Amino acid sequence: MLPLVRDRIKQEAPDRPASGATLITSFVEDEFLPWVDANKRPATANGYRKLWNKHLKIHFAGMKLADYRPYNATRFLGQLAAKMTGHSVAHVRALMSCIFAHAVADGRVDSNPIRDASLRVQPKASKGTPHYTPAEMLAILKALANHPQAQVAMALGFFAGLRTAEIAGLQWRDVSDDWSTINVQRSVWRGQAAHCKTETSKAPTPLIEPLRSALQNFKWLQTVMDPAQHVLVNSLLRPLDLAGLAHRIIRPTLADCKLEWKGYYAGRRGLATLLANTNPQAAMGMLRHATLNTTQGFYIKAIPAATLDAMNALETSLIEEVRDK
In the Cβ-directed half-sphere of 304, how many Cα atoms lie within 13 Å?
A: 17
Mean pLDDT on 229-234: 94
Boundary residue ending a domain (116, 144, 169): 116
Query: Do residue 50 and residue 143 come from a single domain?
Result: no
Mean pLDDT on 154-164: 95
In this prediction, residue 230 carries a pLDDT of 94
Q: pTM of the predicted model, to two decimals? A: 0.72
Query: Do residue 72 and residue 191 come from a single domain?
Result: no
Domain assignment present for 162: yes
Domain assignment present for 295: yes
Give residue 173's pLDDT band: very low, low, confident or very high (50, 70, 90).
very high
- End-to-end CA, the chain: 102
The closest of 99, 57, 101 to 76, measured between CA atoms, is: 57
With H, G, I as helix, E, B as strand and everything else as coil, classify residue 293.
Answer: strand
Residue 308 burial (10 A CB sphere; 0-12, 13-18, 19+) = middle
Query: Do residue 214 and residue 310 come from a single domain?
Result: yes
Q: Is the pLDDT of residue 11 over 50?
A: no
Give residue 323's pLDDT band: very low, low, confident or very high (50, 70, 90).
low
Query: Do residue 107 and residue 139 come from a single domain?
Result: no
Q: Is the pLDDT of residue 6 over 60?
A: no
Query: Do residue 209 and residue 294 come from a single domain?
Result: yes
Q: Residue 273 belongs to a domain with what CATH number? A: 1.10.443.10
Q: Is the pLDDT of residue 231 over 90?
A: yes
Domain assignment present for 8: no
The distance from CA 46 to its chain's CA centroid, rounded to whole angstroms, is: 11
In this prediction, residue 308 carries a pLDDT of 63
Query: Do residue 180 and residue 275 come from a single domain?
Result: yes
Query: Do residue 70 and residue 203 come from a single domain?
Result: no
Least confident of 10-14, 24-28, 284-288: 10-14
In this prediction, residue 200 carries a pLDDT of 75
Q: Is the pLDDT of residue 307 over 70?
A: no
Please, are residues 133 and 260 in contact by the beta-carbon 8 Å criterion? Answer: no
In this prediction, residue 114 carries a pLDDT of 97
Number of structural domains (the chain) is 2
Q: Is the pLDDT of residue 291 over 70?
A: no
Least confident of 200-204, 240-244, 252-256: 200-204
Domain assignment present for 6: no
Give residue 129's pLDDT band: very low, low, confident or very high (50, 70, 90).
confident
- Top mean-pLDDT range of 225-229, 301-305, 310-314: 225-229
The closest of 129, 125, 240, 226 to 189, measured between CA atoms, is: 240
Domain assignment present for 2: no
In this prediction, residue 17 carries a pLDDT of 61
Least confident of 70-79, 220-229, 238-247, 312-321: 312-321
Q: Please, what is the angle between helix 211-222 and helix 148-159, to 10°?
A: 150
Give me the chain's average pLDDT, please.
84
What is the per-residue pLDDT across 39-98, written as a single tens digit (0 to 9) for each? 988 888 999 999 999 999 999 999 999 999 999 999 999 999 989 988 899 999 999 999
Please, are residues 177 and 227 in contact by the beta-carbon 8 Å criterion? Answer: no
Query: Do residue 93 and residue 138 come from a single domain?
Result: no
Boundary residue ending a domain (59, 82, 116): 116
Q: Is the pLDDT of residue 297 over 90?
A: no
**Could you tell me what percent of the chain has a pLDDT over 70?**
84
Domain assignment present for 277: yes
Q: Residue 33 belongs to a domain with what CATH number? A: 1.10.150.130
The answer to whether the peptide bond before residue 210 is cis (omega within 30 degrees of 0) is yes
Boundary residue ending a domain (59, 90, 116): 116
In this prediction, residue 15 carries a pLDDT of 53
Domain assignment present for 124: no
- Residue-range definition of the domain harbouring residue 107: 18-116
Query: Do residue 138 and residue 58 come from a single domain?
Result: no
What is the per-residue pLDDT across 308-318, written as a single tens digit (0 to 9) for each? 666 777 777 77
- The total number of residues written for the chain in this structure: 325
Query: Do residue 193 and residue 91 come from a single domain?
Result: no
In this prediction, residue 306 carries a pLDDT of 64
Query: Do residue 112 and residue 138 come from a single domain?
Result: no
Query: Do residue 232 and residue 309 come from a single domain?
Result: yes
